Amino acid sequence: MNRSRLIEEQINGEVRELLDRPWWRRTWIIQEVVLAKNIQIICGEDIITWDAVASLFKRLKWTQGEVRVFDVKLSDRNIFPDQMYNLISGYHQKWHSNDRRLDLLDVLYQFRTLECTVAHDRIYGFLGIVHPNVATKISPDYHLDAPQVYRDFARTMIQVTGNLHVLNCTRHWSGVENGAQQQKAYSVLEQSRYYDIQAQIFDGPDKTPRRGCARLPDGWERIPHKEKPLFRDNKDRNKQSTELSPLESQQAARAEHYIKQRELSPGWSKIWDNLGRAKVVYGAGETAREHKLRNERELLRQRLSRLPSWVANWECPTRWDPKPLINFSLSQPRYFASGNTTAALHIGSNPRVLSLKGQIIDEIRQLGPVWHPELDRPPISRKGINALVEWESLALIELPDCPYGGAEGRTNALWRTMIADYAGTEAADSNDWAYIETWYDRTGWGRELPDMASRGVYETVTLEVRIAHCW
């Protein structure tokens, strides 16, 4: 990393640390920010306005709001984490310009990844910023258990709104664990605690070794000092510091992309002091309180996993939750097959059963395999995804009573279903089928994209050029 890039990474890293603080992940901050007229962010002795942070984003190229390919967000490892800030700002603007009316389901779904101590607050924590016609119908009751609160909420929303939009919020995937996000250190100064910043490294084959950042062995820590940094092995009970790096007598290490340096080494964790300042430490472990809370969350997760299929599990979202088919902020839904009909809810004796008046349109004859993406970024083609290939095979089976008028009609219905197409004038052009056929990749044109973040500067540039020529 050259000097100018290092300075840029150091400055932006400190802002990343600001946006990575636990405050941004708390449910109750949403009401504070949305309702406030003039917002100021106080960090220790420093004060900055909310709009000043926005002005910083405008000067950056690599933000979540801007870096997209085919309208799909790229991996957020190398872009600026402005998503939560922009989301909160959007609701703040709506509240103060749209006669203070926000859609509850929209707010709940957008902020479902925030943290709260009590699962009930996934709903109760937002009642102060939504339409009073809905908020007044929900009476917070912390004596009820979370599964009942979520069941009652689903029924109440159907009764109050007269529609079934709440059913579209059941987007969680049964059987998919929501793995803990790996902690990252965005501050270059904090990264230097588990890196030797003057180690011998090499960029690629036949490249002369140079001085740069290399990850220290497990347990070792670099300690800034007045004249020369010290190194200490935290696994050594005596913890004697030395001026000699453990990498000094080793062969040159392979250079890493600067994004990779944000990932904490094993045994390291990021903590915050009472002023919200982040620092990385080795061997901090888990406190008794944290252990208790983790066990309680696991027990709650197990109970919520047994919710009926029509009840949204607001407590346990996953990184791969698909977006709702309904845009809650639109006055006219994109999908409107039910027209202006009102949902008719029948109250039965079994609270786990949802009984509604409706019509039988068709019957499901066969189910295909489940497909759960394994990566954060969408697949560049269908190549290697056997579940999607089997979906096509099942959908194109010839049936004597096919409502689509034969093989051509079934093919048309399939690709339109795959893109969640609309009917009528909003439907995709028939020529768009060619894009889907290309994505199917029947000829094997698609190539796996390498993980650039694990490469050094030389290899990264070489691969980028090679990929550009291939595509």
Over residues 63-106, the pLDDT tens digits come to 444 444 444 444 444 445 567 888 888 888 888 886 677 889 99
Structural domain ending residue among the three candidates 56, 81, 100: 100
Residue 174 or residue 5, greater confidence: 5
Q: Does the residue 388 lie in any domain?
A: yes
Cα–Cα dist 66/88, whole Å: 17
Q: What is the pLDDT of residue 205?
A: 78
Q: What is the pLDDT of residue 335?
A: 80
What is the average pLDDT value for the chain, to the nearest integer? 83
Are residues 96 and 3 part of one domain?
yes
Q: Does the residue 320 lie in any domain?
A: no
Are 384 and 439 spatial neighbours (Cβ–Cβ below 8 Å)? no
Q: What is the pLDDT of residue 78?
A: 47
For 112-131, write each residue's pLDDT tens digit.
888 888 999 999 999 999 88
DSSP string of 421-443, one letter each residue? PPSGGGSPPGGGHHHHHHHH-TT
Are 354 and 154 spatial neighbours (Cβ–Cβ below 8 Å)? yes
Structural domain ending residue among the three candidates 50, 70, 100: 100
Q: Which domain holds residue 403?
A: 364-471
For 62-71, write each residue's pLDDT tens digit.
544 444 444 4
Total domain count for the chain?
3
Q: Of 162, 81, 125, 87, whose CA–CA distance to 333 is shortest?
A: 162
Q: Does the residue 214 lie in any domain?
A: yes
DSSP string of 104-115, one letter each residue? HHHHHHHTTTSB
Q: Does the residue 344 lie in any domain?
A: no
Q: Which residues pair with 80 in a beta bridge?
A: 63
Q: Does the residue 31 lie in any domain?
A: yes
Cα–Cα dist 440/335, whole Å: 26
Q: Does the residue 10 lie in any domain?
A: yes
Instruction: Quickly state the pLDDT bin for 173 (edges 50, 70, 90).
Output: low
Q: What is the pLDDT of residue 77?
A: 47
Which residues have CB under 8 Å from 411's CB, separation 6+? 396, 433
Mean pLDDT of the region 379-408: 89
Q: Does the residue 341 lie in any domain?
A: no
Q: How many helices (H) and strands (E) does the chain have?
A: 14, 13
Tallying the residues shown for the chain, one arrives at 471
Q: What is the pLDDT of residue 448?
A: 65
Q: Does the residue 408 lie in any domain?
A: yes
Q: What is the pLDDT of residue 409?
A: 93
Are residues 368 and 470 part of one domain?
yes
Q: What is the pLDDT of residue 72?
A: 47
For 254-311, write each residue's pLDDT tens digit.
888 777 888 899 999 998 877 777 889 998 877 888 888 889 988 998 899 899 999 9
Structural domain ending residue among the three candidates 65, 100, 135: 100
